[in-house]
A = this chain, B = another copy of it.
């Protein structure tokens, strides 16, 4: 069986692909409301918060709103979801800020750190996420990711799947897109990266959205590699 040649750099989607945001955000929501003795359906809260994520980036992608880091959108979306759950006014401003930064305290999928460490021994690795540099740096410290650098939205000043995010990430590394592989658990992310010439790696995360997940259960394109998880991905390069 022939092995895929190792790219000069591998860049990774993070939320969902490397970290389990759903159960981690739910835990942070539970913690935030424990102190006030408030019972909250924390998984439903996490799902609503995540649901607000895509539409909140659209005005930035379309140019109607100047770029703001994802931390700002996370805070604004948190405020909406608090109102939606009739919890507005319960948390102090400082506690809301603290909770909005739950995305810096997400736990990695069990295979993520080991897979990245194996890949890092042989190639450059970096996140290509919609999270800001600050968010990604603090999340890396929490999760144990040893990135070479932080790429993604904050470098391009717009959000994926805008092609400029992938292109600016390759350019920062001084590499042509064909020498870089985008890795994600989301077919749409890979489609956008492939459209501007990057190699693509699909990782399955069948419980990212919870037990009833119906999308991204399998690769939907002719991706360069597909893997069951990050360790399996490294294995496909003989690592």
Q: Spell out A's residues near B (CB within 8 Å).
A: 69, 71, 124, 132-137, 140-141, 146-151, 154-155, 172-175
A124: nearest residue on chain B (CB-CB)?
Answer: B137
Contact of A154 with B137 at beta-carbon distance under 8 Å, contacts A147-B149, A149-B147 already known: no
Known: A124-B137, A137-B124. A172 touches B146 (CB 8 A): no
Please list 16 pairs of residues, one from A and one from B, whose beta carbons are closer than 8 Å in the complex, sorted by A's number. A69-B174, A124-B141, A133-B155, A133-B172, A133-B173, A133-B174, A134-B175, A135-B174, A137-B173, A140-B148, A141-B148, A147-B148, A147-B149, A148-B150, A149-B149, A149-B150
Q: Give 5 closest A-B pairs by Cβ, nearest first.
A: A134-B174, A133-B172, A149-B150, A134-B173, A137-B148
For residue A137, which residues in chain B have a CB less than 8 angstroms away from its CB? 124, 148-149, 173
Q: Which residues of B contact A175 (CB under 8 A)?
A: 134
- Distance to closest chain B CB from A149 (angstroms): 4
Closest partner residue, chain B, to A126 (CB atom): B137
| List of B residues within 8 angstroms of A71 by Cβ | 174
- A174→B72 CA distance, assembly (Å): 10
Residue of B nearest to A135 (CB): B174
B69 contacts A132, CB within 8 Å? Answer: no
CA distance A173 to B135 in the complex (A): 8
The answer for the CA separation of A155 and B105 in the assembled complex, in Å, is 25
In angstroms, how far is the closest chain B Cβ from the Cβ of A64?
A: 22
Which one, B146, B148, B174, contacts A132 given CB within 8 A?
B174
Interchain CA distance A181-B97 in the complex, whole Å: 24
- Contacting residues, chain B, for A69 (C-beta < 8 A): 174
Least CB separation from A133: chain B residue: B172
Further contacts, 6 of them, CB under 8 A, given A132-B172, A136-B149, A150-B150: A69-B174, A124-B141, A132-B174, A133-B155, A147-B149, A155-B155
Give the residues in chain B near A133, CB-CB below 8 Å. Answer: 149, 151, 155, 172-174
Give A124 Cβ to nearest chain B Cβ, in Å. 6
